[in-house]
Structure 1
Amino acid sequence: MSEVIMTRIYEVMVVLYAISLVFYFTDYLYKRVRARRIAFWLVSIVWVLQTIYFVWFMFEINRFPILSLFEGVYFYAWLLTTLSIVLHCIARVDLPVFFINVLGFIFVTIHLFAPNDVVQPVRDSLISEMLFIHISFAIVSYAAFSLSFVFSVLYLILYRMLKEKKFHHLWSRLPSLQQTSSWMSNSILVGVPLLFVSLVLGLGWAFLSLEGLSVFDAKIIGSFILTVIYLTILLLQRSGKLVGTSYAWIQIYTFLFVVINFFLGSKLSNFHLWY
């Protein structure tokens, strides 16, 4: 009975999320404050429903639900919704909030239709606090990189508007180029150390728990490449060698690699079967 109820809650959550995006889009096009407020409260309700579903699932399986790709996608979507609410309340930026919610809705929908065929993703004897921290930090770093992707897209939009001198009432709804660039840098500044710590913990856990571990695993190689790329981007930007649109474009391309590594890397990995 509880499963039926939670399924209905999830369906309501997806519908409310879709409606909120419509209100956010309406607000952006026509500058309707009321539409923005309705969208924000709908997203807040979605976040509450997401949290309820997350907690219920956690008690249902008696562990923190991030040990499978199915569970990881949901946790990632929950993080994106949380980020959108925080940005709305603190940064007061409208279009980034809309873009982040679009990403969140996409991953909520992916989770809705994804097969949950991994009943016991990891043997109980292998589950440890180190593994939980490793996976949690990895997913949070992906959320940070998602934020940098959103602000990179915004930077390119702003730059084009300024270059072509297309001043419109929508202009007032966007952050400045300096603010956008700052958010891009701060996002990867958070994501890089989180991903690095996640890799160190993950390798430590794997060497202690798995036999015949190969460091040439597809997910390990991909994650290390991601860390190096983002660290290089950050260092080049700090030294002034990577600025403006080039800085934005390279972050967009790198985020595409994040998505590929998240899904395809897990499928090609010999032991990353859970996220």
Structure 2
Amino acid sequence: MLLNILYVSIIILYALSVLGYFIDFIQNSQKVKRIAFWLLSIVWVFQLSFIIIRTIEYNRLPLMTIFEGMFLYSWIIVSFSLYISRFYRVDFLVLLVNVIGFSILTISVFAPAGDVSPQLAELMITELLVIHVTLLLLSYALFTLSFSYSILYFLQHHMLKRKKWNKRMGRIGNLSKLEKYSFSFTLIAFPLMLLGIILGVVWAWLKFHMIPWFDLKVLSSFVVLFVYGFYLFQWTVKKRRGYSLALLNIAAFLVLLINYFLSSSFSNFHIW
């Protein structure tokens, strides 16, 4: 009962916070932005409380179901966005990141939320698996931030090209910084995802004495690594910059979303 009340409260407060950031972006209202920030802070506290209570209730870390993975993903995004809002004040980025975070959270309503069976729980609850899932969720959140900066780059590029000078352009940020931050977050996220996948492979071998190379989730994860690896290669080796690289980063995130939402549903190995 308490978890249900918390979950509904999180959805309502998160929606109000996103609405506040949107109003601030349209009207540049500092008062509304402060309210949105504190609402988001309450959401973070409620989400953390939800995670702790669920951990105690099920006597395990809440990482084992689709619902739990999406909920934790949303909490990590909220954590990053609060930090950015507090110390960097990139208004449009915070709005965009939280639109994604809120979407993830609301989609989790339709995900299976029940506990795993005792046999499966015994098999899955290992330190290796927890680290595997945690690293991947952190990489997803960082890739989300990288994608958000590329979207801002995309918007700013077109506004400059069409010579649409207005106050919002200053709030979005200059192209060089947007490009730099997008690359930086991808640079951090890529090795986290690589390590997460390696640990997943090791865990599968230790538990099942086999590696599901042809599982759809595994294959699509390597596709995601390849696309982001190509992006990093273009930046570091080819020294490419600009609009086309931003588009490549946006496309890479779309591949990541396909990997996250679709392959789990059709995977024979990743059954939650």
TM-score by length of 1: 0.94
Indicate how the Cα distance of structure 1 residues 33 and 224 shifts in structure 2: closer, same or farther if over 3 A, else same: same
* Residues 53-97 of structure 1 deviation map (CA, whole Å, 9 limit, x = unaligned): 111011111111111211100010001111110111122211000
CA distance in structure 2 between the aligned counterparts of 1:26 and 1:207, rounded to whole angstroms: 51
1:250 shift after superposition: 1.1
Where structure 1 has 5 or more consecutive residues not aligned to the other structure, the ranges are: none
Cα shift at 1:114: 2.4
Cα distance, 1:172 vs. partner?
A: 2.3
**What is the identity, as a one-letter code, of the residue corresponding to 1:60?**
E
Aligned residue in 2 for 1:195: 193
Aligned partners of 2:19 and 2:40: how far apart in 1?
11
Q: 1:85 to 1:126 in 2, by over 3 A?
A: closer
RMSD over equivalenced CA pairs, Å: 1.5
Q: Provide the C-alpha distance between the structure 2 equivalents of 1:204 and 1:115, rounded to a whole number of angstroms.
A: 27
Q: Percent identity?
A: 37
1:181 aligns with 2:176: no
Higher RCO, Cα 8 Å, sep 6+: 1
The 1-side partners of 2:209 and 2:190 are apart by 29
Please state how far the C-alpha of 1:126 moved relative to its aligned partner: 4.2
Deviation (angstroms), 1:203? 0.4
Q: Alignment partner of 2:113: what SS? A: coil
Provide, for residues 149-175 of structure 1, a one-character-per-residue CA deviation record: whole Å limited to 9, x for no partner.
111110011111111111112222111
Map 1:215-234; keep pairs closer than 5 Å: 215-234=213-232
* Contact in 2 for aligned 1:28/1:95 (Cα 8 Å): yes
Encode CA deviations 1:129-182: one digit per residue, 9 max, x unaligned. 111101110111111111111111100111111111111122221111111001
1:35 aligns with 2:32: yes
| Structure 2: unaligned runs, 5 residues or longer | none
Please list, as runs of the form range in 1=range in 2, the aligned pairs for 1:237-256 lying within 5 A after superposition. Answer: 237-256=235-254
Secondary structure at 2:262 match in 1: helix
Shift of 1:237: 1.1
Give the length in aligned residue pairs.
271
TM-score (norm 2): 0.95
Task: Give the conservation status (yes or no) of the 8 Å contact 2:65–2:116.
Answer: no
For 1:97-136, what per-residue CA distance to the aligned partner results, in whole angstroms no more than 9, with x for missing partners? Answer: 0011111111111122323255328340343111110111
2:91 paired with 1:82: no
Cα distance in 2, alignment partners of residues 123 and 35 from structure 1: 44
The question of whether the paired residues in 2 share the 8 Å contact of 1:233 and 1:242 is answered with: no
Tell me which of 13, 16, 19 is aligned to 1:19.
16
For residues 117 and 259 of structure 1, the distance between their equivalents in structure 2, rounded to whole angstroms, comes to: 23
Give the whole-Å Cα distance in 1 for the aligned partners of 2:2 and 2:46.
12
- 2:129 maps to 1:139: no
